[in-house]
Structure 1
Amino acid sequence: MGGPLALSHPNIVHFISIASLPITPKQNPSINNNNTSKPKWLLPLKALIFAMIARVYEYNAYWHPHFVLVLYCCHLYLGLELVLVLLATPVRTLLGFEIEPQFNEPYLSTSLQDFWGHRWNLTVTRIIFYVLQYTTPYAVTCFFVLHGVCTVVEVSVKKVALRRGWRLHRVVLIPLVVAFMVALRIGYFFLSC
């Protein structure tokens, strides 16, 4: 027999909070990787971009509808990230522990593996999945099956490319992954309508 599925928390409030809220406590909060620390100006910059996009909506009659859709997707992402960062502060203050960040700059992903494995928090994915499954269960299933198939194809292509010595630079990979994710999101919105 193995041990418990998770470390038991000595405080019942911590246990109930972790069990009922979509939060994941940091395993080693005292360890702070310099690689993952973000500049302090990044969050205010995101808040500024969020506010600027909201202001641009006043002129959406002058913009192409596809551009407005891209702005809406950016606005939604930034709003969700800002809200989750703001919600982490009371959790830290009231419960006394650090929680895992919900995002790690997913727009800088260099592959689908990087996006799903390192940059997009599974807690957020679970929340969105449960909200959407009641409205469009087949679209959600198709969306994730397509991502799974594309990830398998990506891994296979990477293996062949690495054997042949081919390697693309991040400057090329990041726009490719972002374009792929945007195209799938737009397809998902049309399937769910």
Structure 2
Amino acid sequence: METLEGEIWNFIKLCIGVSASLTYCYFISSRLPKGIIRLLSILPIISIFIFLPLILSSVLLQFYFGATITWIANFKLILFAFGHDDTLSVNPSIPLLHFIILTPFPFTIKHKSNQYKKNKETSPSYSSTSFSNLDLTFLINTISWYTMIQIYVKYKEQVLFPNLIIIQFLYAARMHFGIQVHFALFAVMAKAVLGEELEPHFNKPHLSTSLGNFWGKRWNLMISNLLKSTVQDPIRYFFTPILGRRLAIHPAILATYIVSGLMHEMAYFNVGRQWPSWEVTWFFIMHGVCLSIEIEMKRIAFKNGWKLHPMISTPLTVGFVIITAVWMCYSELIHCGADVREIEEYAVVIDRLKYLSGIAREVTMSSS
């Protein structure tokens, strides 16, 4: 990473470019007919969003902001072009600030009808318990994330010949908790700016009872919904006349996981600037194939009245996800040195904050 000041300036230029591009979409493209004509007006913006994040060199900014622009913003704009954006809260009827914040970031406004329904079905005491659970979950994730970083650093510093499998496990655990912590912090800031309730990103993924339950209802829910709207539903609609609706789900699932893998490869390339090894793509292809098998096995089990108890299905699911993620999902980032650069960037930011706080303390003491 270049100097902190230089990277901050690059990030400011990125924000200005994204805001200007989305303002164009909001005022110009929204007035064009939905479909191909509106898509043609947005294609230049999609091209800009693919290359614009390359001005960033920071691992943290690339991973949490660059990826959202090249992936989330472009996919949402495609939905916006065809008018299929109601569930994602991206449409020209919302305020411009909402449009600029919601389009490139993984946020979805919670619909008031859903809030009313949930409030009606739950008592005040249950609602307050939910908030305390959310706070507890964030605290646990933060402590776990910090602990994994410390263990990771100590292991690499003190072990002369570190084991690659242990490194991959520690890094995967650190990313698992870190992603949830960062997304929760971003959601708090977005909620403060928008003044709206947002849909949760995660729903206790450690309690997943199946791959479908993990990817569809517990892990990174906004991305799951986005992929369903942009890839799975259109592919399933295309194959339904050929295979029938029941079997059409399988090529739709495979296509969805291939696209997810390729988008992760793009994010990893932006971070490391190295040609991909395609391991993360094969990770998602493997999970897509296993999910298709799981769907058919569940159908057979349901017909015969069989059902695995969560005490069995949860360890199997979580164990499979952990093993495959450690094996295939994060090795590219480790090979390009992103794991070390990320920690160095945290250290630079913390040192700068300490320096600024020291100056502020001196100014306060001298003025008093």
When normalised by structure 2's length, the TM-score is 0.45
1:104 counterpart residue number:
203
1:11 counterpart residue number:
95
Aligned CA distance change for structure 1 residues 55 and 190 (closer, same or farther; 3 Å): closer
1:49 counterpart residue number:
144
Greater shift in the superposed pair: 150-159 or 36-45: 36-45
Give the Å deviation of 1:78.
Answer: 0.9
Give the Å deviation of 1:91.
Answer: 0.7
2:284 counterpart residue number:
144
Give the Å deviation of 1:96.
Answer: 1.6
Measured in 2, the distance between the counterparts of 1:118 and 1:41 equals 20
SS in 1 for 2:212: helix
8 A Cα contact 2:172 2:330, kept in partner: no
8 A Cα contact 1:113 1:151, kept in partner: yes
Greater shift in the superposed pair: 33-42 or 19-28: 33-42
Aligned pair partner of 1:20 in 104, 110, 135: 104
Give the Å deviation of 1:133.
Answer: 6.3
SS in 1 for 2:209: coil
Aligned CA distance change for structure 1 residues 144 and 26 (closer, same or farther; 3 Å): same
Structure 1: 4+ residue segments shifted above 6 A: none
Aligned pair partner of 1:159 in 291, 299, 311: 299
Aligned CA distance change for structure 1 residues 16 and 80 (closer, same or farther; 3 Å): same
Give the Å deviation of 1:64.
Answer: 6.3
Aligned pair partner of 2:268 in 132, 140, 148: 132
1:171 counterpart residue number:
311
Name structure 2 gaps, 5 residues minimum. 1-32, 35-81, 225-259, 336-368
Number of residue pairs matched?
Answer: 193
Measured in 2, the distance between the counterparts of 1:57 and 1:186 equals 14
Measured in 1, the distance between the counterparts of 2:93 and 2:277 equals 35
8 A Cα contact 2:264 2:280, kept in partner: no
CA RMSD of aligned residues (A): 3.4
8 A Cα contact 1:132 1:140, kept in partner: no
2:234 counterpart residue number:
none
8 A Cα contact 1:133 1:140, kept in partner: no
SS in 2 for 1:41: helix
Give the Å deviation of 1:90.
Answer: 1.3
Aligned CA distance change for structure 1 residues 159 and 65 (closer, same or farther; 3 Å): same
2:72 counterpart residue number:
none
Aligned CA distance change for structure 1 residues 139 and 64 (closer, same or farther; 3 Å): closer
Aligned amino acid, residue 177 of structure 2: L
Aligned amino acid, residue 184 of structure 1: T
2:185 counterpart residue number:
86
8 A Cα contact 1:9 1:15, kept in partner: no
8 A Cα contact 2:106 2:222, kept in partner: yes
Aligned CA distance change for structure 1 residues 94 and 175 (closer, same or farther; 3 Å): same
Counting aligned pairs with the same residue, the percent is 27
8 A Cα contact 1:109 1:174, kept in partner: yes
Measured in 2, the distance between the counterparts of 1:128 and 1:111 equals 22
8 A Cα contact 1:102 1:121, kept in partner: yes
8 A Cα contact 2:211 2:317, kept in partner: yes
Greater C-alpha radius of gyration? 2
Measured in 1, the distance between the counterparts of 2:330 and 2:104 equals 33
Deviations 1:139-181 (A, max 9, x none): 3432322222111111111122222332211111111111211
Aligned CA distance change for structure 1 residues 20 and 50 (closer, same or farther; 3 Å): closer
SS in 2 for 1:20: coil
Deviations 1:52-99 (A, max 9, x none): 333333542399654443232222111111111111111111122222
2:115 counterpart residue number:
30
Measured in 1, the distance between the counterparts of 2:220 and 2:329 equals 21
Give yes or no for the alignment of 1:72 onto 2:171. yes
